[in-house]
Amino acid sequence: MSRGRLVVISAPSGAGKTTICRRLERDHPEWRFSVSGTTRPQRDHETNGKDYYFLTDDQFDEKVSKGEFLEWEWVHGYRYGTLHQALEEALANGETLLLDVDVKGGVNIKQQFSGDTIAIFIDPPDMETLAARLKRRGTEDPAIIKQRLARLPQELAYKQDYDHVVVNDNLETAINEVEAILKEVE
């Protein structure tokens, strides 16, 4: 059996990464999605164990001390980490595992698994569109949205470390582009 591959997908907050990943998940049951651990509070539509493992600070600390995370980062005031287990299983079973992680986590995974990783950066069309999407999503209050937008220049600086950049202007076009990248390397 051939070794699996890791597909890292990163983007500035609001660029559409979750929307794209959910569609890929729906249309490609043959691909697996890594479920991260986080200390962020659960949103209404989210399911524990599917969207994330929602952890208390103490639970997160315990996993850190047991070495269960391959990488973890502070993002927007909360901790998020990729768990070793699913990743090792996917590689050993020849599966494709998609990982929705922030830019630092993405670069970290790429360094640790360079031969196994394809890294895709989802780029927002422009700052105004990004701000409008975050506002429309309505999951954060204006102060948090401002904080997320302030991180944009730092996040864009990592774009050059990614193998592919997909601009999410039209959603269908962006999804098709991501699918084409994955099929090309299958």
Q: Which residues bind ligand 5GP (CB under 6 A)?
A: 13, 36, 40, 71, 73, 75-76, 80-82, 100-102, 104-105
Q: How far is the CB of 158 from ligand 5GP (least distance, A)?
A: 11
Q: Which does residue 19 touch among ligand ADP, ligand 5GP, none (CB within 5 to 8 A, set by kind)? A: ligand ADP
The residues, any chain, with a CB within 8 Å of residue 151's CB and separated by 6 or more, are: 12, 13, 76
Helix, strand or coil, per DSSP, at residue 175: helix
* Residue whose entry in the numeric block shows the structure tokens 């973890």: 72
CA atoms of 65 and 68, how far apart (whole Å): 8
Q: How far is the CB of 64 from ligand ADP (least distance, A)?
A: 24
Q: How far is the CB of 163 from ligand ADP (least distance, A)?
A: 19
Q: Is 131 within 8 Å of 64 (Cβ atoms)?
A: no
Q: Which does residue 105 touch among ligand 5GP, ligand ADP, none (CB within 5 to 8 A, set by kind)? A: ligand 5GP
Nearer to ligand ADP, 96 or 168 (CB): 168
Q: Which does residue 75 touch among ligand 5GP, ligand ADP, none (CB within 5 to 8 A, set by kind)? A: ligand 5GP
Which chain residues interact with ligand ADP by CB under 6 A? 11, 13-19, 133, 136-137, 168, 170-171
